[in-house]
């Protein structure tokens, strides 16, 4: 009943004009119960260009691992249908991205619907005079074609949908920094070309059952450039107000309980790590919006809310885009003069109480799992008075290197490939440096992940940077920090950053011990070292007497001497990347 009512309301609000019948989706024609296959995206992309040749350009920006074309539509009323034309006209660019998780496909169908109505002049009138829209209906094109009725068991509609991950099983919304997938490489190349002011990432969230239907989060708001945060907040709050007027029940935080399955635990807001879109773009001094419709709302409702969010976003950029564009460009200049940068953020314990529109529920032991389970009654609305923790502050902060980073020759090609994907400036050194003025990071503790995550064994490091002259060979990379993407440079290069190359395991070999001294050799070496150095012998004796764990470990006792012997590998636990105190000549 609810699905039918929403579908009829949506169709009444957006009747299909006969002249534009070829620009409708299977979803629209089905009353928003179904979604089309990828061949529909290919057809509509070309059909929109054919119908509006002066306003729409359909183009391929990459190929998926399974060989599918990755399509986008550039849309503008003033002929700015290429990155060069947009830059020449000084127009802000907005990216709208659907289907990064291809089972969460609201953005595709809502985007095509909104695009047709805007081009017909029925909505957001004049908005495309003042910006360029780049619409990617489906980012994860291979996952989109893993079609099934059961790909999203926690989601109401459409009848069938795609799969969360790619043909290579990558989760693209964990790939923005490490950029392993061909799809993300293609997307980043397009981002570098167009330099969007705002990047809108359209999703559907899982979670409990409640009345609210969407969350809209934007960064910078809690992180990134201070002045750009004001623009991000204005965009977020403006869109929230607009869609609320149209009947949505939005929230500005991700609606996942602080304690799983416990409504009274409330909610905790946060800043996403840069593996996610909203964590990534603020490092580039640009805005990102995460739209998460609620999976337990039916498909007509979710498409309507997503549609309204798209339209609202374009209207706000039309009104404020030039102003926000200037703030973003000024942020590029400010980023070249930073002294410290937060690598992570934390949410404090400070809470505010809110009325959250939920349903009556019970929590009782389950005869199936044996766990305490929450069961909701969607026929009985209920207001929950719950805490929201949304005071977010910097956590791990580090100083900015005086000049930049040096990547040794052995790692130069691999790192350079990543830097190019992000549009980060660097240069190769043309001569050896006998003793470079640098700092080194030696790990006092290196913890490898217990299992694989996104095809990697992650690494967590403890330690500190210390000044230590090092030789640097010709062919090494110098990555200056005085560039617009300085925050992104540090997110990639700082070993303790959550999505750095080190954290994703690129340099794991540096933290693996490769050479050993046989025990019988170490026994003789230890005696020789103590005989030659009485202070060392006394240090060893005191350690045995005062440290029980050390005293009972044969390995630790022999390792005490191995680490002090000339044979010890000085590179063990040494992070290969250096911080440069002066730009190499």
Helix orientation angle between 554-562 and 534-546, rounded to the nearest 10 degrees: 150
Q: Which of 65, 62, 56, 146 shows the shortest CA–CA distance to 105?
A: 146
158: preceding bond cis by omega (within 30 degrees):
yes
Q: For residue 6, what pLDDT is reported? A: 42
Q: Strand, coil or helix: what is 69?
A: strand
Rounded Cα–Cα distance for residues 205 and 292 (Å): 5
Question: The tokens of 522 are what?
Answer: 């170490």
Q: For residue 15, what pLDDT is reported? A: 45
Asked whether the beta carbons of 140 and 165 are under 8 A apart, the reply is yes
| pLDDT, tens digit, 9 for 90 and up, residues 182-197 | 999 999 999 999 999 9
The phi and psi torsions of 459 (rounded to 5 degrees) equal: -135, 130
The string over 484-506, giving b where at least 16 C-beta atoms fall within 10 Å of a residue's C-beta and e elsewhere, is: bbbbbbbbbbbbbbbbbbbbbbb
Q: What HEC string does 264-300 produce? A: HHCEECCCCCCCCHHHHHHHHCCEEEEEEEECCCCHH
pTM: 0.94
Beta strand 438-448 pairing with 132-136: unpaired
220: preceding bond cis by omega (within 30 degrees):
yes
| pLDDT, tens digit, 9 for 90 and up, residues 228-275 | 999 999 999 999 999 999 999 999 999 999 999 999 999 999 999 999
User: Measured on CA atoms in the order 451, 456, 459, 460, is the torsion positive or negative?
Assistant: negative
DSSP output for 178-233: T--SHHHHHHHHHHHHH--SEEEEEEEE-----S--EEEEEESSSSS-HHHHHHHH
Rounded Cα–Cα distance for residues 229 and 129 (Å): 26
Q: Which of 75, 6, 72 shows the shortest CA–CA distance to 305?
A: 6
The residue to which tokens 């340099």 are assigned: 507
Using 50 as the pLDDT threshold, list the residues of the chain that sit under it. Answer: 1-11, 13-21
Question: The tokens of 190 are what?
Answer: 């397009």
- Strands (DSSP E) found in 66-119: 69-75, 93-97
Rounded Cα–Cα distance for residues 100 and 496 (Å): 28
């Amino acid at each position: 009943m609810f699905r039918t009512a929403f579908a009829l309301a949506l169709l009444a609000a957006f009747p299909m004009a006969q002249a534009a019948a070829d620009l409708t989706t299977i979803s629209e024609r089905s009353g928003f119960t179904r979604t089309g296959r990828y061949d529909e995206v290919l057809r509509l992309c070309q059909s929109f260009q054919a119908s509006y040749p002066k306003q729409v350009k359909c183009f391929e920006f990459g190929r998926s691992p399974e060989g599918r074309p990755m399509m986008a539509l550039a849309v503008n009323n003033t002929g700015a249908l290429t990155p060069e034309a947009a830059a020449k006209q000084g127009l802000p660019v907005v990216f709208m991205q659907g289907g990064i998780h291809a089972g969460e496909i609201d953005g595709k169908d809502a985007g095509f619907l909104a695009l047709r109505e805007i081009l017909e002049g029925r909505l957001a009138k004049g908005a495309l005079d003042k910006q360029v829209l780049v619409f990617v209906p489906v980012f994860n094109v291979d996952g989109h074609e893993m079609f099934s009725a059961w790909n999203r068991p926690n989601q109401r509609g459409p009848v069938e949908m795609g799969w969360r991950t790619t043909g290579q099983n990558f989760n693209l919304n964990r790939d923005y920094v490490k950029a392993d997938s061909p799809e993300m490489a293609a997307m980043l190349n397009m981002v570098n070309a167009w330099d969007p002011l705002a990047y809108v990432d359209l999703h559907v969230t899982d979670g409990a059952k409640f009345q609210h239907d969407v969350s809209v989060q934007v960064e910078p708001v809690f992180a990134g450039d201070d002045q750009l945060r004001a623009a991000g907040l204005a965009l977020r709050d403006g869109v929230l107000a607009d869609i609320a007027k149209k009947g949505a029940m939005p929230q500005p935080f991700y609606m996942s309980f602080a304690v799983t399955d416990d409504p009274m635990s409330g909610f905790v807001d946060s800043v996403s790590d840069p593996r996610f879109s909203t964590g990534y773009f603020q490092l580039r001094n640009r805005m990102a919006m995460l739209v998460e419709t609620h999976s337990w709302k039916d498909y007509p409702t979710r498409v309507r809310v997503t549609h309204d969010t798209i339209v609202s976003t374009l209207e706000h950029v039309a009104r404020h885009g030039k102003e926000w564009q200037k703030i973003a460009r000024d942020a590029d200049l400010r980023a070249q003069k930073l002294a410290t940068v937060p690598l992570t953020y934390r949410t404090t314990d400070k809470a505010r109480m809110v009325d959250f529109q939920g349903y009556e529920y019970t929590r009782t032991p389950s005869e199936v799992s044996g766990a305490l389970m929450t069961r909701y009654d969607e026929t009985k609305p209920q207001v929950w008075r719950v805490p929201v923790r949304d005071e977010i502050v910097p956590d791990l902060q580090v100083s900015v290197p005086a000049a930049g980073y040096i990547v040794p020759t052995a790692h130069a090609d691999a790192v350079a490939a990543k830097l190019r994907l992000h549009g980060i400036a660097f240069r190769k050194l043309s001569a050896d440096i006998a003793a470079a003025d640098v700092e080194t990071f030696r790990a006092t503790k290196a913890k490898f992940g217990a299992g694989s995550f996104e095809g990697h064994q992650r690494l967590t490091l403890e330690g500190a940077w210390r000044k230590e002259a090092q030789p640097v060979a010709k062919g090494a990379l110098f990555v200056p920090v005085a560039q617009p993407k300085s925050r992104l440079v540090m997110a990639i290069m700082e070993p303790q950053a959550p999505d750095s190359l080190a954290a994703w395991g690129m340099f794991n070999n540096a933290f693996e011990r490769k050479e050993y001294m046989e025990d019988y050799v170490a026994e003789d070496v230890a005696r020789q070292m103590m005989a030659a150095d009485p202070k060392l012998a006394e240090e060893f004796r005191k350690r045995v007497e005062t440290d029980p764990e050390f005293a009972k470990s044969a390995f630790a006792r022999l390792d005490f001497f191995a680490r002090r012997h000339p044979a010890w590998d000085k590179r063990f636990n040494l992070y290969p990347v250096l911080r440069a105190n002066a730009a190499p000549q």
